[in-house]
Structure 1
Amino acid sequence: MRNRIIIPLIITLLAVPAGFAYVHWSKGGTGTGLYSRYWSPDPVQGYWDPANFYQSPDSVQGIFAGEQCVQCHEGITPGIVNDWRASRHAQSEETVYCNDCHGNDHQQLRLPTPDVCGNCHAKQHDEFRDEARYGFPSHVLAMERAVDAKHFVDKPKAEVQSCVQCHSVATKCDSCHSRHRFDAAEARRPEACITCHSGPPHPDDETYFASAHGKLYLAEGNNWDWSKPLTKGNYKAPTCAYCHMDNGRHQVAEKSLWKFGLREINPHTSKNQVLRKKWIKLCSDCHEEEKARQWLTELDQERKQAWQKLYMAEAILKDLRSDRLLQPAAGERPPYPMDWLDSLWPRERIGFFEGQASVFYNVSAIERDYFEMWYFDNLGAYKSAAHGNPAGVEAGHRKMVASLDRIETQANELRKLSQAEKKAEIRIKPSGDLWMKGAYTDYNREHN
């Protein structure tokens, strides 16, 4: 009895520090994140993650005052200087010069990070950093989530650079406040957000612009006074920032209720009841409270209907997996380089909690169909419901039904084929390395 307690305790005491040591070791490579030893940065990474990768040019030597920077760059980069002259940095009582943000030693220049901006904008910086406690989704954790994902290393570097271009919102403030004006008025407009929040994985742009709010913005927004703060009465219709950064609060995830629509949650937990009250209070700036409650209830109902469809598709795929009808099988596909468990125990991952999000490529056709149903059709419906676009909700659910029908049809065909093969006593031979080769797979293997 004593050994049953002591042995597991010893194993635990050894495993915990070993785990910490491994994580520390894994972050000691040329890259960043958990897989830093398996990738190296391209030069452009210095702009997406300047604290870790930016290297100052060595074309000029010397230490310069701010006025000297301006004098030189008026000839070299006049557009930058003109933007700076139009900024509050240049027009404040105490001028904020180039060297205040970039340093004055030209061989040790830096690209400003949130910490640099936080030296003056402490309130906004603290709010931004504090967003980490809300978990996913979160701007402040965006870069960490990108480089800690296995597919960041698995996929060709040229592809994942497009990921970090937006995930760099965690590592530099000019993702929203474009340099060198850093204009709050610009950041209040929806275009500041849809630079990244657009396209099939996050169709915030098309769903917002199709809503009553978005249509009013498109019709009249150019005439609004964007210098006004994000408070009640200042704008005829809300934009992204008005709702998600009310009163200029730099915590976009503060009221995140449905967690991006990618996994099912209980919208009526005690925590989420608090969030619902915050949404109702915000919407009550323009609408009656009861109407706001009704919209939240409609969103709950939309999510319930969506997950019923998604779980039906998941059940079909899991049944096919149980009967070994997913082809090519996991063991016959090119292994994910960073997933050692996948090479030891190949298994088709189905659904959010099995890690489906990390295996959206290198899968069978029917699995990819489900991924697109979950990640594209589902998100189109969710974002439409959240942004007040009923036509988008209907279109999203129509696409989900079509995807579900297609998955059911493919599943039936796979079962009929399997039955015919059994009846004819045809034994399917392993495909060997048939699926291990191909232009994409070979390039990935050789270049990443």
Structure 2
Amino acid sequence: MLKKLLLVSALFIFTEFIQAQDCITCHKNVTPNIVTDWQLSMHAKSDVDCAVCHGTEHTSAEDVAKAKLPTVETCANCHEERVAQFKKGKHAAAWAAMKAMPTIHMQPMALIEGMKGCGGCHKIGIKSEEEIKQLRKDGSLFGNASCDACHTRHTFSVEEARQPQACQTCHEGFDHPQWEMYSNSKHGVRYLLKQTGVLPKESSAPTCQTCHMQNGNHEVRTAWGFLAVRLPMPEDKQWASDRATILQALGVLDMKGQPTKLVDVIKAADVARLSQEDWQKERDKMLKTCGQCHSENFAKGELLKGDDMIKNADHLMAEAIRVVADLYKDGIIKKPANYPFAFPMLLTFHDAPTVIEQKLFVMFLEHRMRTFQGTFHANPDYALWYGWSEMKRDLTEIKELAAQMRREHKK
């Protein structure tokens, strides 16, 4: 019996080996660099061949459609712990968060489902089986695996994913220029000098992963979340009022200050901390990380400066929102029918119907983001000139535009 089992096992391994060699022989001619990348990978060294991820049904150029395209569940077969962490984090919710944006359906398909715009980064989010079927039906066959957003196929390198450049593709530009802020900060400069050999490898210099993926944790969470709004409300009455105004303009609170159905969406997408305990947990993790290089009192003081910048930015932002809301109230701007109440919607992006509303969206999603993100990323230029200074100028322009619109309305 034992001999028979050993024989069956040997035949199975031999068959798998032959199939793998067939894949390699063919793809060396068809897609040679894919083969090279796989041969460089830990998968190749661990005998994880093509069939493990792509199945065995595709055997020739005539049946390419039978090749299975992996999803996050494919990776979970071997990387269960990391996938479980990923599923609890914000990256896993990226696709759902994108789809929840009010006017996302107004963008060209290539940018969203085609993954050449928002979808190009938000594809890291997990998609349901139905969503994947629909994407494939619409001709968008690739980009559903999530993990390969950071561990580039087919090397799937852990070492690559640990480098700050792995984050660069998505964390740059308009509303989240973390790469620019980090790479120009003292933290980033020192690490890039380590990469080029100017500084010794032993030198202290954090990467994005050092601060946001402690010990390789794939949840990737922060205390303030992406939009820097949270619950409960602060004790400071002015800040509480300002934050309430912002939450109303996000559609999270109604005109009476009561939570709307969007709170459930925020909970599901995990884009904000909704309890003091959740916020403090993430803050404590960050303090522990900072403490590897800095004293505790220095780290606390620096993070408190970031909190204070959010407070000050919120005050400017709330004033600008109220200026535009008053234009709705006085009938100078017609409220779009799809807005839930007489408040501007900050997340309509460039689809906001008037110039003043578009200026408000830019103030919120570009300049407010840079104000607090620049502070937390230790980049003074972004915190001031690309952030706070721009917000001050935005507010001046919004007030002037509103005054002009009122004058024209009286004519």
TM tier relative to shorter chain: 0.7 to 0.9
Deviation at 1:275, TM superposition (A): 2.3
Deviation string, structure 1 residues 322-357 (Cα, Å, up to 9, x no partner): 11112xx235xxxxxxxxx62xx786642xxxx431
Does 2:250 correspond to 1:245? no
Deviation at 1:234, TM superposition (A): 6.3
**1:262–1:375: 8 Å Cα contact kept in structure 2?**
no
Counterparts of residues 40-439 of structure 1 (less than 5 Å): 65-92=19-46, 95-106=47-58, 107=63, 108-131=66-89, 138-160=90-112, 161=114, 162-170=117-125, 171-172=144-145, 173-223=147-197, 236-253=204-221, 256-263=222-229, 265=231, 266=233, 269-326=276-333, 329-330=334-335, 342=338, 349-350=343-344, 355-358=345-348, 360-395=350-385, 396-419=387-410, 421=411
- Give the aligned residue type for 1:167: H
SS at match of 1:261: coil
Deviation string, structure 1 residues 41-79 (Cα, Å, up to 9, x no partner): xxxxxxxxxxxxxxxxxxxxxx97112111211121111
The alpha-carbon distance between structure 1 residues 262 and 300, as it changes in their structure 2 partners (threshold 3 A), is closer
**2:223–2:278: 8 Å Cα contact kept in structure 1?**
no
Deviation at 1:83, TM superposition (A): 0.9
- Give the aligned residue type for 1:177: H
Deviation at 1:235, TM superposition (A): 6.0
Distance in 2 (alpha carbons) for counterparts of 1:64 and 1:165: 36
Question: Which runs of no fewer than 5 residues in structure 1 stay unpaired?
Answer: 1-62, 132-137, 226-232, 332-340, 422-448
Q: How many residues align?
A: 325
**2:20–2:50: 8 Å Cα contact kept in structure 1?**
yes
Distance in 2 (alpha carbons) for counterparts of 1:111 and 1:223: 39
The alpha-carbon distance between structure 1 residues 121 and 388, as it changes in their structure 2 partners (threshold 3 A), is same
Q: TM-score, normalised by structure 2?
A: 0.74
**1:202–1:379: 8 Å Cα contact kept in structure 2?**
yes
Root-mean-square deviation (CA), in Å? 2.5
Deviation string, structure 1 residues 389-446 (Cα, Å, up to 9, x no partner): 1221111100000000001111111222233x1xxxxxxxxxxxxxxxxxxxxxxxxx
Distance in 1 (alpha carbons) for counterparts of 2:37 and 2:110: 31
Distance in 1 (alpha carbons) for counterparts of 2:217 and 2:307: 26
Question: Which runs of no fewer than 5 residues in structure 2 stay unpaired?
Answer: 1-16, 126-143, 235-274
The alpha-carbon distance between structure 1 residues 235 and 81, as it changes in their structure 2 partners (threshold 3 A), is farther
Distance in 2 (alpha carbons) for counterparts of 1:404 and 1:91: 58
The alpha-carbon distance between structure 1 residues 324 and 309, as it changes in their structure 2 partners (threshold 3 A), is same
- Give the aligned residue type for 1:397: W
**1:64–1:105: 8 Å Cα contact kept in structure 2?**
no
Deviation at 1:385, TM superposition (A): 1.0
- Give the aligned residue type for 2:189: K
SS at match of 1:112: coil
Distance in 2 (alpha carbons) for counterparts of 1:261 and 1:142: 14
- Give the aligned residue type for 1:321: Y
Deviation at 1:151, TM superposition (A): 2.4
- Give the aligned residue type for 2:170: C
- Give the aligned residue type for 1:109: A
